[in-house]
Structure 1
Amino acid sequence: MKKLIFTTLFSVFSILNLSAQKSDASISNLYQNYLNIKTALAADNSDDASKAANTFIKSASMVDYKVLSEGNLDVLRKDASIIAESRSIETQRGSFMALSKNMIALTQNFKLSNDTVFVQYCPMADASWLSAEKAVKNPFYGKSMLTCGSVKAEIK
């Protein structure tokens, strides 16, 4: 499988001139749709991951450019588009790795949820992702290694 490498990731997010942990409903919606992709990948369901990625793309279109720049949104949509268009779970997981890095970067500038957001890490995939729950459900290996990983940070 070719590794999917995109803009080494949101250096774009570091350019944002927004106050840390700004709250925005459209960004929270984006996060909820991201979680649906994660859940589908953890369940080894490429069809559901594709559908969830399409919903994610639609929700990204609802974010005001004054809240998050068009360039940042384009990177998120690009990551999600690969998941939406692919039926290969391996390809989807590779793109989810990039999407997760970018979503984690969002946590530096936005409050994604009123509840705790967990940053989890899988050493086997050498990748992190966001979760709404403390229990690890690994989207990179699914059922074969569902609980592989640990919580690296809690964002309240």
Structure 2
Amino acid sequence: MKKSLLFAFALSIALFSCGGKTEEIHEENSMEHASGDASAASTSAVASSAATSAIIDSYLAVKDALVGDNAQEAASKSQALVASLKSFDISSTEAEDLEELERLQVEAIAFAEKLASEDIASQRESFQALSVTLKDFLKIAGTDRTLYHQYCPMYKGNTGGMWLSANEDIKNPLFGSSMLTCGRVEETIALK
């Protein structure tokens, strides 16, 4: 188990540092400025779980700081995110795939720790990678609220990037004020 955790951690570091894609391009060179209308988005039903509340709350606090172009606040808020991820007790969940959940937890912690940098471009890159991992984590562990997987096709040289939000309105943390409403809702993650 420890070897697989070490391997997963090393692999996530290698992929992140090499600039590997964390999500496929959904549309080439398209830009959509929308209010986040989720009516066309797919829906995934996940288990209800209060155990992830602290993780979601601290993740959303970092997102809001990045939306506001505040690198210092994002770095400060990332400490609570790291702590909540580390304190999440996998053995207390009713999730079926505990090994995958553990791998995702380790990967999420690694990305969240990189948010401590006060370089906003680095924070946004780490946040986007964390978002992909956290979405998968929450689909297994469950959530205490409906979340919206939002996607901006213009991020990182038009390779695209995603994040999670508690509401449909687009407030883009990957660009902040320079492209605040660029994006669309790709998926609604709803409670069963």
TM range (shorter): 0.7 to 0.9
What are the within-5 Å matches in structure 2 for residues 130-149 of structure 1? 130-149=164-183
Q: Which is helix-richer, 1 or 2?
A: 2
Corresponding residue SS for 1:23: coil
After superposition, the C-alpha distances for 1:81-107 in whole angstroms (9 at most, x for unaligned) are 1111x1100000010111000111123
* TM-score, with structure 1 as normaliser: 0.81
Cα distance in 1 for partners of 2:46, 2:168 equals 21
Range 39-48 or range 104-113, more displaced: 104-113
Q: How large is the RMSD of aligned CA atoms in angstroms?
A: 2.2
Q: Which amino acid aligns with 1:38?
A: K
Cα distance in 2 for partners of 1:42, 1:121 equals 14
- Larger RCO (CA within 8 A; separation ≥ 6): 2
Structure 1 equivalent of residue 108 of structure 2: 76
Q: Which amino acid aligns with 2:154?
A: M
Q: Is the 8 A contact 1:56 1:80 kept in 2?
A: yes
Question: How many residues are matched?
Answer: 142
Indicate how the Cα distance of structure 1 residues 53 and 89 shifts in structure 2: closer, same or farther if over 3 A, else same. same
Q: Is the 8 A contact 1:28 1:111 kept in 2?
A: no
Q: Which amino acid aligns with 2:77?
A: A
What are the within-5 Å matches in structure 2 for residues 2-151 of structure 1? 4-5=17-18, 21-66=46-91, 67=93, 69-84=101-116, 86-114=117-145, 116-125=146-155, 126-151=160-185
Indicate how the Cα distance of structure 1 residues 6 and 56 shifts in structure 2: closer, same or farther if over 3 A, else same. farther
Unaligned runs of 5+ in 1: 10-19
Q: Is the 8 A contact 1:50 1:87 kept in 2?
A: yes
Indicate how the Cα distance of structure 1 residues 26 and 51 shifts in structure 2: closer, same or farther if over 3 A, else same. farther
Once the 2 structures are TM-superposed, how far is the Cα of residue 73 of structure 1 from its aligned partner?
2.1
Indicate how the Cα distance of structure 1 residues 35 and 107 shifts in structure 2: closer, same or farther if over 3 A, else same. same
User: How many percent of aligned residue pairs carry the same amino acid?
Assistant: 35
Largest Rg, 1 or 2: 2
Q: Which amino acid aligns with 2:169?
A: A
Q: Is the 8 A contact 2:150 2:162 kept in 1?
A: yes
Indicate how the Cα distance of structure 1 residues 92 and 4 shifts in structure 2: closer, same or farther if over 3 A, else same. farther
Q: Is the 8 A contact 2:152 2:182 kept in 1?
A: yes
Once the 2 structures are TM-superposed, how far is the Cα of residue 64 of structure 1 from its aligned partner?
0.7
Cα distance in 2 for partners of 1:143, 1:33 equals 21
